[in-house]
A and B are shown apart, each in its own frame.
Chain A
């Protein structure tokens, strides 16, 4: 069989073997002990021709309900937003797409400048002084922030609000185990926000960091300022995990006392894609700059005085510091950071705010509609684009019924919060029309009656 990715002809092979003075390719593997040579053929999926391949994957894709076949009300950390058409066109340029880490700055100025612009956009949105080039996702970014804070303060205890994304807390627990950091969870109050009194009781001199999500997992907007003062009083760092779209409308965490801001850029130009690849971001105050994980791009000049960009502050990183590195991250989510940058360039100063306000208004309309039809809207504090409704019946059942109406229902909170079984977390973005929302409420009324 011939392979379109393999250009070696039998003549090429002959010529190369002649140069090497050997008879067969097999001789090049003579250093592999016979007993560990693999004999026979790998028992893996069979090869498909290009048309067969497309057909095969199209059939698999067709088995999945998706945002083009269903009206989607799932959020819970991954959101369906409008992606401007230009994003994909620019992203797919091979010069970006098929490059690797910009180790050779003279032929990587495009990527380096794009990252420098990304870092600037992250700083602008979060109100922080420095940002890195990206992390794997929001969850690992949060975990790395906690580890960095524990390392920086020398205090090996981190408190995380129970209203932080459950998967981020799970990833945090794994990182914490690795590095011997103790994790405490702060409960939430009746309004669905982090319980300030509970935090007060848990905070002590051994606490290195406190983590709060903004808006939190229930969609509620936490009053960051109230936490920041408490946290700083005890000499701990305040870490905020923020939805960057919400920051188009909400005050920047940096203005409200955050020391580190993390999160995921997924709302900006990155498809949900069954959970990844997305794009963690990481921003901090300048005093933490030399402790930050990940790659960082800096501005400099070339020999002729012309502006240029390079990877910088590399003394923090694993390839220099080895076992003393602050993190082991090397490959990150550069391509997704580029997608977010292109999106933020297109939306710009006005678009990000407009999109945030569209989300806010549509979600509030939906919440109001539920309340008016007699549903119990669980939390009553200010929220962004998600809210919780109590259906008092298994959400898996409710969602199965909604699928019949081509609706992907909200997140089953009971999966992560047993005390909230029967509660659904509903996300409403700018892509849901009034008609979509009305239909959701009607269907749920029917399901509740039935």
Chain B
């Protein structure tokens, strides 16, 4: 078994350094010359004192205790763990991008503005919307921005009473959370036996207080809401707007556009569909596209083009909801997304979605022989299985997930969506080869056999990782959130 890994603080030794700075070439100013005593730092921050090689070894060792897409298959449903192209990193590190300041005069950042402008245009076309803001920092920020736009729209029409956001029970937890922080209330409606939104329930839920319907399509079960046209009609006739959660956009590139389905607002997760690095939990980027009726309310500034071909930051929008993030959004991630779009083009993006959907259906069909398939119909880019058969043998979905670690895989998303018992949500993405899918399927089938023949092997997994299962209950009850020198 692996040993405990020391914290960087535990490697520290007084007097050691891992940095080198220019020496002072101007007269030294002493803190006591300019500041009252109580504003001068009394005790230095206890940061590590280590050499450069120690820094390198420490983070190299930490990285070896981590699993990324570069290590192996990562079918984490709804997170679109596709390959993060290396060339995007080269582009993002060009000094002309990485070393530019957001407050430089416009004429000195025409290249950066051109990237943003082109990305706005391309994302509007891909989603079928009229305009795009690139400012939101992540998907959840995009949701909140979109809902603030919807709220501003209703208020501008004197309809302050439109405060209810209808959300299906299969929705991601951010949807209701975003509604709350936009000052709106959530109404949850059920899904039917098809795994789709119940039309009757939607009809009952809408009314003069409806602000919007928030929908992921394909939904979190990986199923396309095939009644979308009727749903849009019901919501629009009730005076509400339609919000598209783009977490699952990887299924529909060039195949169907939210704008054509009747959606008024859409956010995209560029770190999912458009290959921004997942980075251990971010950074994301959550651009929001809108139909023209919401244009007056977009955050400022957006990037616009003059007749002479030059670009500028357009802040002229008196009804704007205001800023949702500092500066121009997560520019580096926006740049990577544009680099990806330029690598694929229209034909490539279409193939992305076609392959992602074929991969998912293939896996779903083959895994259905050993696992319960709660919704037996074509899926889109992901699908859900239920571990109910295995549960009868005393093995939980959590155990199956942990056993997958022994095979070198990151497990699927588990226990989400909440409406499927012992849920496993699998998203292979288009960048995985058939060989990888087959090997993973073999592992899953072997685990299903183990559940019958040797359940302890699964229940006690993982067996090969640097730590065994961790005590999460104690972590939450008696939180230790920082290192303390003993």
Residue of A nearest to B58 (CB): A345
Would you call B455 an interface residue if the criterion is a C-beta within 8 Å of the partner chain's C-beta atoms? Answer: no
Would you call A12 an interface residue if the criterion is a C-beta within 8 Å of the partner chain's C-beta atoms? Answer: yes
Taking CB atoms, residues of chain B closer than 8 Å to A392 are: none
* Per-residue contact bits, chain A 32-51, to B (CB 8 Å; 1 contact, 0 not): 11011110011111111010
Are A308 and B358 neighbours in the complex by a CB distance under 8 Å?
no
Are B280 and A96 neighbours in the complex by a CB distance under 8 Å?
yes
Are A174 and B321 neighbours in the complex by a CB distance under 8 Å?
yes
Are B226 and A33 neighbours in the complex by a CB distance under 8 Å?
yes
Residue of A nearest to B106 (CB): A396
| Interface positions of B from 34 to 88, Cβ below 8 Å from A | 34-36, 38-42, 44-50, 52, 55-56, 58-71, 74, 76, 79, 81-85, 87
- B interface residues, how many (CB within 8 angstroms): 205
Would you call B401 an interface residue if the criterion is a C-beta within 8 Å of the partner chain's C-beta atoms? Answer: yes
Are B97 and A300 neighbours in the complex by a CB distance under 8 Å?
no
Are B476 and A396 neighbours in the complex by a CB distance under 8 Å?
no
Are A57 and B182 neighbours in the complex by a CB distance under 8 Å?
no
* Per-residue contact bits, chain B 335-349, to A (CB 8 Å; 1 contact, 0 not): 000110111111111
Are B21 and A354 neighbours in the complex by a CB distance under 8 Å?
yes
Are A30 and B378 neighbours in the complex by a CB distance under 8 Å?
yes
Taking CB atoms, residues of chain A closer than 8 Å to B205 are: none
Report the minimal beta-carbon distance from B195 to chain A, rounded to whole angstroms.
Answer: 11
* Per-residue contact bits, chain A 313-330, to B (CB 8 Å; 1 contact, 0 not): 111011111111101111
Are B278 and A98 neighbours in the complex by a CB distance under 8 Å?
yes
Query: Interface residue tally of chain A, by bracket?
Result: 35 or more
A274 to B215, CA, bound (A): 33
Residue of B nearest to A278 (CB): B326
Taking CB atoms, residues of chain A closer than 8 Å to B55 are: 86, 90, 342, 345-346
Are A64 and B108 neighbours in the complex by a CB distance under 8 Å?
yes
Report the minimal beta-carbon distance from B84 to chain A, rounded to whole angstroms.
Answer: 5
Are B44 and A349 neighbours in the complex by a CB distance under 8 Å?
yes
A348 to B184, CA, bound (A): 45
Stretch of A201-209, A229-237, A359-367, A440-448 with 4 or more beta carbons under 8 angstroms from chain B = A359-367
A88 to B292, CA, bound (A): 42
- Using A94-B68, A99-B67, A301-B471 as known contacts, say yes or no to A65 and B279 having CB atoms under 8 A apart: no
Would you call B240 an interface residue if the criterion is a C-beta within 8 Å of the partner chain's C-beta atoms? Answer: no
A399 to B299, CA, bound (A): 27
Are A102 and B365 neighbours in the complex by a CB distance under 8 Å?
no
Would you call A200 an interface residue if the criterion is a C-beta within 8 Å of the partner chain's C-beta atoms? Answer: no
Report the minimal beta-carbon distance from B220 to chain A, rounded to whole angstroms.
Answer: 12
Are B330 and A277 neighbours in the complex by a CB distance under 8 Å?
yes
Would you call A249 an interface residue if the criterion is a C-beta within 8 Å of the partner chain's C-beta atoms? Answer: yes
Would you call A190 an interface residue if the criterion is a C-beta within 8 Å of the partner chain's C-beta atoms? Answer: no
Taking CB atoms, residues of chain A closer than 8 Å to B115 are: 60
Would you call A95 an interface residue if the criterion is a C-beta within 8 Å of the partner chain's C-beta atoms? Answer: yes
Can you name 15 A-B residue pairings with CB atoms under 8 Å?
A: A6-B348, A33-B228, A36-B261, A53-B87, A57-B91, A60-B112, A64-B108, A107-B65, A120-B483, A171-B323, A272-B99, A297-B481, A302-B469, A345-B58, A361-B28
Query: Given contacts A298-B476, A344-B47, could you give 5 more A-B pairs where the C-beta distance is less than 8 Å?
Result: A100-B278, A101-B281, A113-B65, A139-B323, A361-B27
The 3 A-B pairs with the shortest beta carbon distances in the complex, nearest first, are A275-B327, A61-B96, A94-B70
